[in-house]
Amino acid sequence: MTDSLVSILIPLYNEEEFIDEVIARVMAAPLPVGLDRELVIVDDGSTDDSVSIVEAIAARNPGVIRLFRQPENQGKGAAIRAAIDYAQGEYCLIQDADLEYNPEDYIHLVQPIVDGVADVVYGSRFASAGHRRVLYYWHSVANHLLTTLCNVVSDLNLTDMETGYKAFRTSLLKTIPIRSNRFGIEPELTIKLAKRQVRMYEVPISYEGRTYEDGKKIGLKDAFQAIWVIFRYGITNDLYRDPGAEILDAFSVAPDFNRWMADTIRPYVGQRVLEIGSGMGNLTRQLAKRRERYVASDIDVEHLGRLRNRLQHRTKLEVAICDLSKRADFDKFAGAMDTVICLNVLEHLEFDVECMKNINAALAPGGRAIILVPHGQNIYGELDVVLGHFRRYSHQQLQGVMEQAGFEVETILNFNRISRPSWYVKGKLLKQTRIPRGQIKVFNSLVWLWRKIDRFLPWHPTSVIAIGVKK
């Protein structure tokens, strides 16, 4: 993606009368200082002269206007889904190919995201501080009902869920699977964004609604479809395009399991802590309290964005990009930390000894590294593949890696024997690639029992935890 660029996504279908004027207004619209624009136009099987008009304009604006064509008409949602994949900007904004919305409002939509206070901004036609054309009463009633129903399901307080003006951080939008081909994209995106716990804002916009005679395309059928979409995505959790991230998200509904893991390592955690691979903050929430300094790090900006949103009240918490395989990322922590926590990260990296040396560099002499990895290469299966694991470790392998990196291994703990048979059956025998949230919730509800019996189970653990001291 290109920094300081706004990708304006325009789904196009039979708008020959308006598309040249829409493009002219979009090109002239004000943007926050320092931002450039690109127009990503996806034609959805137009049968009029829309495409030839856009092609002529694009030829006069090379590199600024890019046109892509769908093989057949599929709907607004399908066109936007394609446009998202083509978007190159740091930010993106949806613009309908008609004259209902005013590009003069762009600056109000994008500025909160540029300022870092919002991940998504909706332009509300009903919180309008500008002008709004007065049109169909029953259409507005349907809009309010759909917005209310969506708010109930997603626990939001939006005034205009169906708005055609939505702005996003592009990196966020590219991680969300969009299934709706038509106007169901509006409630689908809204519910998924709410479940992802992103920072959503609304700003008032002006609106020049069209009549059906003018070419308005949304109708009663789309309202019923929207209701179906609201209920469908209200009860499902199809939130990530990456199945590994989906599994990580599923564990966000397992607070008792996360607390079990945190309690296991808590006696070894000091006051100046660097957590590697914090993800969405499932462990950070348990461990960051009452620390002198706590740095939660990851390589995924979307995970860190969600973590920052969940824990913004923690005044001693810092959030940082830190790649365990890159020594330069550890320079800013050199010798400053008394604890480095690295849970379920080392197995993702090929050169594990070098990664452990980077952890060593961040620690003061006598500081501790707390390393949790999956145990037992003999149960390596499809779940490991989906999660991006290079390997699973034995006790001896983990100890050897840490000693090569300059640590004295203080102890190795066995953790979570109870789930090992399930992991073997699901990943190795059945070759499953998902762990349903419902199963994780059931497992979490019985953690009180697992904690009591786990050490007595007569098989190897699912994970091992090594505590190493910097020499």
67-95 pLDDT, tens digit each: 999 999 999 999 999 999 999 999 999 99
Q: Write down the pLDDT at residue 452.
A: 96
**Side-chain-side CA neighbours of residue 268 (13 Å):** 25
- Domains located in the chain, CATH noted: 2-239 (3.90.550.10), 244-470 (3.40.50.150)
- C-alpha 56 chain-centroid distance: 37
Specify the pLDDT at position 137. 61
- Higher-confidence residue of 365 and 136: namely 365
Residue 25 has pLDDT above 50, yes or no: yes
Mean pLDDT for the stretch of residues 258-276:
96
Q: Which residue stretches of 290-436 are H helix?
A: 301-310, 352-362, 382-387, 395-404, 420-423
pLDDT, tens digit, 9 for 90 and up, residues 171-215: 999 999 999 998 899 999 999 999 988 889 999 998 876 554 554
Token code pair at residue 282: 């499932």
- Burial class (CB within 10 angstroms; exposed 0-12, middle 13-18, buried 19+) of 313: exposed
pLDDT at residue 287, as a whole number = 93
Q: What is the pLDDT of residues 279-336, one digit of tens each?
A: 888 899 899 988 999 999 999 888 887 787 777 777 889 999 999 999 999 999 999 9
SS3 call for 437: helix
| pLDDT number for residue 212 | 47
Query: What's the angle, vertex CA 83, arms to CA 82 and CA 86, rounded to 5?
Result: 95
Tell me the per-residue pLDDT of 35-74, one tens digit each, with 9 for 90 and over: 999 999 999 999 999 999 999 999 999 999 999 999 999 9
**Selected residue with higher pLDDT from 222 and 80:** 80
> What kind and span of H or E run contains 40?
strand 36-43
Q: How many CB atoms lie within 10 A of CB 56?
A: 11
> Alpha carbon of 197 to those of 67, 252, 354, 396: distances in Å?
33, 12, 35, 40
Quick check: pTM over 0.95? Answer: no
Give the tens place of pLDDT for each residue, 93-136.
999 988 889 999 999 999 999 998 899 999 998 875 555 555 55
| Residues sharing a CB contact under 8 Å with residue 416, sequence separation 6 or more, in sequence order | 260, 261, 450, 454, 461, 462, 463
Percentage of the residues of the chain whose pLDDT score is greater than 90: 73
Query: Which of 193, 166, 389 lies closest to 305 in space, CA to CA?
Result: 193
Residue in 253, 471, 463 with CA at minimum distance from that of residue 343:
463
143: amino acid identity, one letter: N
